[in-house]
Amino acid sequence: MESKPVLIVDDEKNIRLTLSQSLEPLGLELDTAVNGEEALAKLKEKNFGLILLDLRMPGMDGMEVLRQVSRLRPDIRIIIITAHGTVDSAVEAMKLGAVDFIQKPFSPTEIRDLVSRVIDREKLDEQKADDYHSSIELAKRCIGDRNFDAATEYVRKAISLDPSYPEAFNLLGALLEIRGSNLEALKHYRAAISLDPTYEPARRNLHRATSMEPKGTITLE
């Protein structure tokens, strides 16, 4: 995957520019698209390994692009770019295999680290995954493959290795919500918050899941 090109999809020129500049040191082949339509067209031309996708775009919005890409090329990994206050459709995104998010504004280091992590994730050896972080990464890889049961196993393993991180509990909650076990999901969001009361993704998930809104979204980032 390391050698496959990366596609940046964002309607804002400054974001496209900033992403290109930030990722330059990684030596990846980069391409850009200004909207969903162009992105889908480019999919036919090149064999991308990773897409950086802004959720909030005029015209065909990010979620629609994600749906299409997920349908046409489920093998492509996706990093979703959000803005503060985005009604994030993170559970929908996760169902479609997207599990990595980054919120604007971000530093060059942040996006570089995230892209590196997603790329390295492909190379992880399951046999050697005996620590918390590797287990979480493998869980995310499984989500990318839409293998939610295996993902759940890896998250549980991660928790058993180190139960002090809120991320694992939040992730497990999200997986349970996808499965339909909403009450259990709530418990895990609460567990995440009791570990770290400032852990935003779990707070948002709990707030959403316990309010009366019909259309909720799970937050992962």
Partner 1 sequence: MLSNHRLHIIIVGCGRLGSYLANKLSHDGHSVVVIDNDESAFNALSSEYSGFRVEGDVTEFAVLKEVKPDKADVVIATTREDNVNLMVAQIARRIFRVPRVMARVFDPKREEIYRDLGVETISPTSIAGDEFLKALKKQPIIEKAEP
| Contact set with partner 1 (CB under 8 A) | 13-15, 17-18, 21-22, 84, 104-110
Which amino acid, 140?
A: K
Shortest Cβ 47–partner 1 spacing (Å) = 28
Shortest Cβ 83–partner 1 spacing (Å) = 9
Q: Rounded to whole angstroms, how far apart are CA atoms 72 and 57? A: 20
Residue 85 is classified by DSSP as T
Is residue 57 within 8 A of residue 10, CB to CB? The reply is yes
Q: Residue 78: how many CA atoms within 13 Å on its side-chain side?
A: 32
Shortest Cβ 148–partner 1 spacing (Å) = 31
Question: Nearer Cβ to partner 1, position 2 or 110?
Answer: 110
SS3 3: coil
Token pair of 74 as six digits = 């489920």
Burial class for 160, CB neighbours closer than 10 Å (0-12, 13-18, 19+): exposed
Question: Nearer Cβ to partner 1, position 15 or 99?
Answer: 15
Shortest Cβ 3–partner 1 spacing (Å) = 25
Shortest Cβ 93–partner 1 spacing (Å) = 21
Question: Nearer Cβ to partner 1, position 117 or 146?
Answer: 117
3-state DSSP percent of the chain in helix, strand and coil, to 5: 55, 10, 35
Q: Rounded to whole angstroms, how far apart are CA atoms 151 and 143? A: 6
Question: Nearer Cβ to partner 1, position 55 or 176?
Answer: 55
Question: Nearer Cβ to partner 1, position 17 or 87?
Answer: 17
Shortest Cβ 108–partner 1 spacing (Å) = 5
Question: Nearer Cβ to partner 1, position 21 or 160?
Answer: 21
